[in-house]
Amino acid sequence: MRKNKIISAFIIGIQFIVIAASAQVAPKYSNEFLSIGVGARSFGMANATAASVTGVDAVYWNPAALTSIEQNMNLGLMHSEYFAGLAQYDFGALAFKIDEESALGISLIRFGVDNIPNTIDLIDSDGRIRFDRIKSFSVVDYAFTFSYARKLPIEGLNVGANAKIIRRVGGDFASAWGFGIDLAAHYSFDNWQFGLMARDITTTFNSWTYNTENLADVFKMTGNEIPTNTTEITLPKFILGAAYTYQFARKFGAMAELNLDISTDGKRNTLIKGDPFSVDPHLGMEFQYNAMVFLRMGIGNIQNEYSMNGEKSTTLQPNLGLGIKYKRLTIDYALTDIGDVSIAGYSHVFSLTFAINKLNIEPNNVK
C-alpha cells in the first residue's frame, strides 16, 4: 500500500511539472546537442539503451543504472565527427562506486565547430580587402554532468539523478549559462530490464548574453534585429525503455530493446505526433558471443517526408555497431546515418571503456 502511494505521488508530481512547463513559451529543439547521445554501443542500437545500459555511459542514458558498473571505477571516452569533419563531438566520463548500494559519476560533453573565419574586419576603412585581418572563432556547446545512483530496498529497483551545468559559446558574440536536473529509475526482473529517464524534469534554463557592441552597425546595415539578452527554456522529455535478454546457447545470447522518447514541447515530425506530446520510437538489438564480441543494429528517427510534388514517404535511420571486450577494456564502433545520406552521409563513432580497480580499496572493505 505504501509503495503504491509513493508511485502515485511520483506520477502526479510529474504531471504537474509537465503542465506547468507546457504553459511556458519555449522553443523546440533547445539544447538539442544533448539529444544526440553518447557511446558507440548506443549509436549502434539507434540509441535504444535506456533499459540495458551498463557501465559509465549510464551517466547519460540512465544514471540509475550506475550501480551496475564493473570493478570500482569506470572510465569512458568517445569521439565522433559530423558533416565531413566540420563538427566535432566528444564525451568523457568517470563513474565510481561509493559502496555496494550507491555510485557517483561525472561527465563532459563537447559539441563544437572550430576555426570559423571572422570576416567582419575584412574590408578596412579605405575599402581595401585585408586578408590579414581575418580571425577565427568557435561555436561550442558544453555540458558538465554530476550523477548519483542508489539501490532501493525493493530488489532490482534503482533510482538516480543528474545535475547538469550547460555552457554555450558563440565566439566573442554570444554566450549562455544553463542548469537542469534529470531523474531516472531502473528495474531488473529475470531476463527483463526497464528504464525511465526524465530529462530536464524541472525544465532547463539557459541565460543568454549577447555582445553587440561590435556588431550593431552590421545588424543595422543588413536589416537584422539586434538581439537582446534572454532566457531559453528546455521542456521535459521522458524516455521509456524495455529490454529482454535471451541466452540461446552456452556462449551465444541476444538482447532486444524498445525505447519511446516522449517530448513535451509540441508537435514534432515523429511517428506519433501530438500537442504537447510527441512519441519517437526506436528499436535496437545486440548479439553477443561469450560476452566478448558484440554485433549491434538499430532503427530510429522514423519520419514522414514529402517530396516536391507532394508525395509522402516514410524514412528511417539505420545503424550498425560492433564491440569487443577483453578483460577490463571495451572498444565499441558504430556506423550511423545522422540524416539524409545525400546531405550528411554516414558518421563513424568510436568509444572506449576501461574498468579500473581503485588501489587497495574495495566496496565496504579497506585492505
pLDDT computed for residue 26 by the predictor = 57
Residue type, 163: A
Q: How many domains does the chain have?
A: 1
The CA distance from 344 to 326, in Å, is: 34
pLDDT computed for residue 87 by the predictor = 87
In CATH, what number is assigned to the domain containing residue 235? Answer: 2.40.160.40
pLDDT computed for residue 358 by the predictor = 64
pLDDT computed for residue 246 by the predictor = 94
The CA distance from 113 to 292, in Å, is: 36
How confident is the chain (367 residues) per 10-residue block, as mean pLDDT? Answer: 41 39 55 91 95 94 92 92 84 94 96 85 74 83 96 95 95 90 96 96 88 70 73 92 93 96 88 89 96 95 81 86 94 77 66 79 44
212: exposed, middle or buried (C-beta count within 10 Å: 0-12, 13-18, 19+)? middle
Let me know: does 75 contact 353? Beta carbons within 8 Å.
yes
pLDDT computed for residue 339 by the predictor = 46
Could you list the beta-strand ranges (E) of the chain: 73-82, 87-97, 102-118, 135-151, 157-170, 174-189, 192-199, 204-210, 230-234, 237-247, 252-263, 278-289, 293-306, 312-326, 329-337, 346-356, 361-362, 365-366
Q: Which domain holds residue 185?
A: 2-366
The CA distance from 95 to 355, in Å, is: 10
